[in-house]
A = this chain, B = another copy of it.
Amino acid sequence: MHLCEYARKVALALLLEGVRAADPARLLRERVAFDGRRLRVAGYEVDVGGGAYIVALGKAAGPMAEAVEQILGDAVRGGIATLLRGAERVRLKRVVPVVAGHPRPDEGSLRAGELALRTAERAREEGVPLIVLLSGGGSAMAELPVPGVSLGDLQALTDLLLRSGASIGEINAVRKHLSLLKGGRLAATARPSPVLTLVLSDVVGDRLDVIASGPTVPDPTTYSDALRVLQAYGVLGEAPKPVVAYLERGCRGEAPETPKPGELDNSLAVVIGNNMTALRAMKAYAEGLGFRALILSSSIGGEAREAGRVLASVVLEAKRSGNPLDPPAVILCGGETTVTVRGKGRGGRNQEFALAAAIEIAGEEGVAVAAMGSDGVDGPTDAAGAVVDGHTIPRAKQLGIDPAAYLRDNDSYTFFRIVGGHIVTGPTRTNVNDFYVGVVATEEVTW
């Protein structure tokens, strides 16, 4: 095995360790204690002796609901959990699984949204706590539009915004004002019953108002913020008429605002895991393999290809000068980049990150970079991301492939299909954003 292949193997092993460490069922079992009456988490207590309802939204909702049902046993009166299409089955007793669309909301998302709202009403009527389990993707996977706005309108809007380069936070400021569920409205519906939200965070900085569009936390954004996002990304003209009309009514005070800070004293939220949880485990794992390891940041954002170039330049510097770490070195980061689509190709932000990095590290022995969506999904492709090394570009050129042309055309998926390097995992049962790994190997260690 040459040194690049070894570096590549290390990068892949680290990604898998990240996924393992971010497994929400494991995190819930570790952090949530139940004595038959009191549920304890992170120093907080909720009395669930009289029963509780569960609303689990997002890509990791199934495993999270399963874990909480196991912990609480018969105290669970019912609830709802969203599942990704094609996701592994989960064993739920009283919580109803609903297959829902992502990244585009679909009919399943509507059903999940209705059931979630009904579950919150039931918790209020029966005077028992509502336990909300949130993970990324919850925004699309549970949806209940405001009157006059159809699911088709929301789908068209989501498509527009995802293509526009708007951040998740900006997209959600819009979605919250078009939903009866989001921006704190789910918790407002359960009021005055206690609402405990346990969060697997896929949002940089763990902003609870952003994760799954914050159905249980106050919403600092306003109708005019939502309109401003449409304007800033030039989609105001293309956006469905009923959407714009509703937001404008909201601006004039003719539609109810989302609950603002201070208005949800029945609601409490705890982050049980996030990108940094995974990065810390990856760092320890790398050190166990004999590498020096450094976590740069769990909040890498911006244009995917540019972030990929920066990580590559750090990795090359480590190889060249021993900064920021002497090799053998592992550089870890995480976050969520965006892709401004200019070409007509097929790809995802992680594959594009990796392709840009590959171009920077072309020809470098012992160097590998990998990028992967922790949920196992990267853009509209069947890959979770890609791993590249110093041999990737020379191999591409041998095959007559021009890497820069594929990057220009946003065609990273096709590039890796031809040259090799796809990471394919299927749904991973977790979702804590993306992982980026850079490896500088000096000699192979026997595993």
Using a CB–CB distance below 8 Å, which chain A residues touch chain B? 204-205, 232, 276, 279, 294-303, 305-307, 309-310, 313-314, 316-317, 320-321, 323-324, 335, 360, 404
Contacts and interface: CB of A to CB of B under 8 A. Distances in A.
Nearest to A306: B306
Contact of A301 (B296, B309, B320): B309
B303 A303 contact: yes
Contact of A302 (B295, B297, B299, B309): B309
A295 B323 contact: yes
Contacts of A309: 301-302
A322 to B, nearest CB: 9
B324 A404 contact: no
Given A306-B307, A307-B310, A310-B310, A299 B324 contact: no
A164 to B, nearest CB: 13
A279 B322 CA distance: 13
Contacts of A204: 313
B297 A296 contact: no
20 contacts: A204-B313, A232-B404, A295-B317, A295-B321, A296-B317, A296-B323, A297-B310, A297-B314, A297-B316, A297-B324, A298-B323, A299-B316, A299-B317, A302-B305, A302-B310, A303-B306, A306-B307, A307-B310, A310-B310, A324-B324
Contacts of A314: 296-297
Given A310-B307, A321-B276, A296 B298 contact: no
A317 B205 CA distance: 9
Contact of A300 (B279, B297, B310): B310
Copies per assembly = 2
Nearest 10 pairs between A and B by C-beta?
A306-B306, A295-B323, A297-B317, A302-B309, A297-B313, A302-B306, A299-B313, A297-B314, A310-B310, A294-B324
A106 B294 CA distance: 47
Prevailing SS type, chain A contact patch:
helix
Contacts of A313: 204, 297, 299-301, 335
A324 B310 CA distance: 15
Nearest to A276: B321
Nearest to A324: B294
Nearest to A404: B232
A314 B300 CA distance: 8
A222 to B, nearest CB: 16
Contacts of A301: 309, 313, 360
A301 to B, nearest CB: 6
A205 B319 CA distance: 12
Contacts of A303: 303, 306
Residue among A205, A300, A313 facing the most chain B CB atoms (10 A cut-off): A313
A317 B300 CA distance: 10
A321 B296 contact: no
Nearest to A206: B320
Nearest to A317: B297
Nearest to A293: B324
A408 to B, nearest CB: 9
